[in-house]
Structure 1
């Protein structure tokens, strides 16, 4: 057991939070997170250099028969002569401008930013004392995480990080199965270490072999190094932490992180997938998916601008700006946050499509932000005929909404009805705000003093009857959702 690991354990013994679920469950989600609603996720690293397929290139280039394997041999030569590590000198990030990045994110309307500190490939995008394979010592020779943190916080945005290190235990192990550059001896700190055998079933949370104790302690130390050096307000974990071998070490990290936040005077938030953490001890995250109904607890979905990759590639399939804005409205109405991923190019620039989408979202939020930020779910989250698909990886295609599909939020003494498709002829009907002769029906029974469309100066002449609140605003056209503000007495 290393001196650093013992230091972490001793620190936790003196803190409010202990490495047990009953203690960690006393945690509360930070208020700022519940108000923020919209954040930016960033996948950028050595895997951005080949720009092929997706961010799993570092593993799949060693998987015989895969498109990545064939592409790699054809483009760069055999893996024994040109392995993943040989992309590092090509990752120069020569046009990386953290000030510009932060400005783009601010203009997008995001309130927090979460770059990947280390992905499954094992290359750290920050200054590390635990390995030479980090962005400060190789590749860009810059502290990407540190520079971005400074620029983001300068603009009043909250800074977080994600770590996907847990999967690295087995991620590169397939390279040992043939003559490649991945072979023993490997030692702690090497890029390819430990390259262990992958479990046969990634859904088996007790699958063998377990990662070594040395790897698990190294995982704890790397994560705590990020916590100590960069003070992230959010710490996002990818999926493999749910495996039973990680659980004691995960609880150690969480206790350390929460205690550090208390010591430094700011609340922190762990985000997790599946059931990796005890419910109530951190923020539930749904990857590339969402809930079909509103939840009584705050949650987050992370998804990407592109359907087929988290990092930049030469074959991205982009979602439209309108699809993402409608997704944001649906998630917020159901008590969630949207963490939207963008993948910069290897040189540090953004593709034109990424910029266009981010700025479209920002322009929409300039007008409609009061219906998103610092709001709460209303009595109803939604109305309309279109049914939502629930669960992970459910955003493979765009949902076709109608002008009857509406999402609700509440705040500022008002009810916001976000109409997901602008109605033809400007005829609006909000059925959830209606009169009812049935006293058992929880229809709207209050005083409305004003109805308006956000971005329009004049109030609307409206009526409320058994069919709902209705009005006509002639001439209104929009490819994006339109928000009706209903102010009550």
Structure 2
């Protein structure tokens, strides 16, 4: 993931590139539907649950900085180094990697996270087992750069294997479970070979010229993923990040960051996926941005497609401004988050919302408050979200349309200034038998119009449901 702190100038400079990236992520012509029946079943299950939790967590939380990217020697906003070691990249990398010796999240309590996520109506989890910096939040045997190594003070804690503890806590709440795994590894000597200084995010040598080095990295990656697929119980999703690690033939030249990939970085996804599904039948493999058979769903980042997409997709988005923990976070309002979920679902997507734990192993209390507020709305209106399908015209003005069987839902997304539902509203759907407003038992009166049906909302219902982030009409 990339950091989201950008100045206005940088936003304007990146506008064209962002448009190209969004266009690429909304182009579903290269999507390959899975053939494995178990994968199809899992994909259908995943599409029905709609709402998930993503957590970026690692040693970087101690400095309250962007996840991993400050190690990357690129002149980009999210790679900016700060602090006493920032003047020299080698000194900085050494100090960064020594964070392992002080990382001690003594307030770690995954059951609280699982309870909060369930209360919000979330139904699946994706956790960062390893980000680009290479620090492992699981007990791998492939490296000592991990939370369970003796150099890490948390290794003395009985819950030191945090990935296992987190998956177990969410499994007990019936969540679908996903393991985020970074394909690039900036700590591994076979990716960033010590002989050469790294120039950017990519491997720092030509794998074609040094095939033995690359094969060692491929085996390292395979072995780590095998550990995650065999030692952590049932897993539903293998969520792979770092899309520049890809076969050269898959590069999309219309996307600016892909044009800069200098080498073929093929890690043999067929071998990895085959092994993973041998241990986890029906596993969804999400090789992000690498179109083809190993990208079972696409993942637009920090954005929502501007139209309905007929393929499986998921918007991954931060609750605040940052993927990683920062001391003072600017959280989106519950109103904004609920409207985002409704918008995404009406276009056939899922929402994967990121909350970042801090160095002590806790979330900001404000994150818990946001989830409670979302949960309050979901308890009343969740039936318009779960197991629904989008209905044409999907999004029209302030309306978002979904359906389930013979039931249709018309969700009204108020503007910032609207606190009360209008006394009459025109739903952009065909005439029907009965209309109710979720959260209010009374059947509403309506009449047919040229554009749909106009519904009258009683004053008592308008007062009762004041200040809702979204109002949902149920048409039976």
TM-score, length-scaled by structure 2: 0.77
Distance change in 2, residues 1:248/1:63 (3 Å): closer
Q: What is residue 184 of structure 2 aligned with on the other side?
A: 167
- What residue ranges of structure 1 are gaps of 5+ in the alignment? 1-20, 173-185, 385-404, 434-443
Measured in 2, the distance between the counterparts of 1:195 and 1:333 equals: 51
Q: What is residue 47 of structure 2 aligned with on the other side?
A: 34
Q: Deviation string for 1:398-449 (max 9, x for gaps)?
A: xxxxxxx11111015311111111765523433422xxxxxxxxxx2x5x22
Measured in 2, the distance between the counterparts of 1:302 and 1:227 equals: 23
Distance change in 2, residues 1:104/1:65 (3 Å): closer
SS at match of 1:285: coil
Distance change in 2, residues 1:193/1:359 (3 Å): farther
Q: What is residue 472 of structure 2 aligned with on the other side?
A: 483
Q: What is residue 91 of structure 1 aligned with on the other side?
A: 103
Q: Does 1:462 align with 2:446?
A: yes
Bigger mean CA offset, 329-338 vs 191-200: 191-200
Q: What is residue 236 of structure 1 aligned with on the other side?
A: 239
User: Which of these residues, 392, 404, 407, is aligned with residue 379 of structure 1?
Assistant: 392
Distance change in 2, residues 1:30/1:105 (3 Å): same
Measured in 2, the distance between the counterparts of 1:67 and 1:463 equals: 57
Bigger mean CA offset, 155-164 vs 80-89: 80-89
Q: Deviation string for 1:443-489 (max 9, x for gaps)?
A: x2x5x2221111112111111211431223223422401111111xx
Tell me, yes or no, if the aligned pair for 1:25 and 1:278 is still in contact at 8 Å. Answer: no
SS at match of 2:440: coil
User: Which of these residues, 389, 406, 415, is aligned with residue 399 of structure 2?
Assistant: 406
User: Which of these residues, 149, 153, 171, is aligned with residue 153 of structure 1?
Assistant: 171
Distance change in 2, residues 1:256/1:279 (3 Å): closer
Q: What is residue 303 of structure 1 aligned with on the other side?
A: 317
Distance change in 2, residues 1:298/1:465 (3 Å): same
Measured in 1, the distance between the counterparts of 2:192 and 2:304 equals: 34
User: Which of these residues, 134, 139, 144, is aligned with residue 122 of structure 1?
Assistant: 134
- What residue ranges of structure 2 are gaps of 5+ in the alignment? 1-30, 249-263
**Alpha-carbon shift at residue 69 of structure 1 (Å):** 3.4
Q: Does 1:269 align with 2:284?
A: yes
Q: Deviation string for 1:380-414 (max 9, x for gaps)?
A: 21111xxxxxxxxxxxxxxxxxxxx1111101531
**Alpha-carbon shift at residue 283 of structure 1 (Å):** 1.3
**Alpha-carbon shift at residue 369 of structure 1 (Å):** 0.5
Distance change in 2, residues 1:98/1:33 (3 Å): same
Tell me, yes or no, if the aligned pair for 1:409 and 1:415 is still in contact at 8 Å. Answer: yes
Q: Deviation string for 1:72-115 (max 9, x for gaps)?
A: 43899992796112211221010001111211111121001111
Tell me, yes or no, if the aligned pair for 1:199 and 1:208 is still in contact at 8 Å. Answer: no
Measured in 2, the distance between the counterparts of 1:454 and 1:81 equals: 54
Measured in 2, the distance between the counterparts of 1:195 and 1:313 equals: 34
Q: What is residue 19 of structure 2 aligned with on the other side?
A: none
Bigger mean CA offset, 236-245 vs 102-111: 236-245
Tell me, yes or no, if the aligned pair for 1:25 and 1:280 is still in contact at 8 Å. Answer: no
TM-score, length-scaled by structure 1: 0.75
Q: Deviation string for 1:349-390 (max 9, x for gaps)?
A: 111221121221111111110000111111321111xxxxxx
CA RMSD of aligned residues (A): 3.3
Mapping of residues 325-404 of structure 1, within 5 Å: 325-384=338-397
Distance change in 2, residues 1:207/1:306 (3 Å): farther
SS at match of 1:344: coil
Measured in 2, the distance between the counterparts of 1:414 and 1:229 equals: 43
User: Which of these residues, 192, 201, 221, is aligned with residue 219 of structure 1?
Assistant: 221
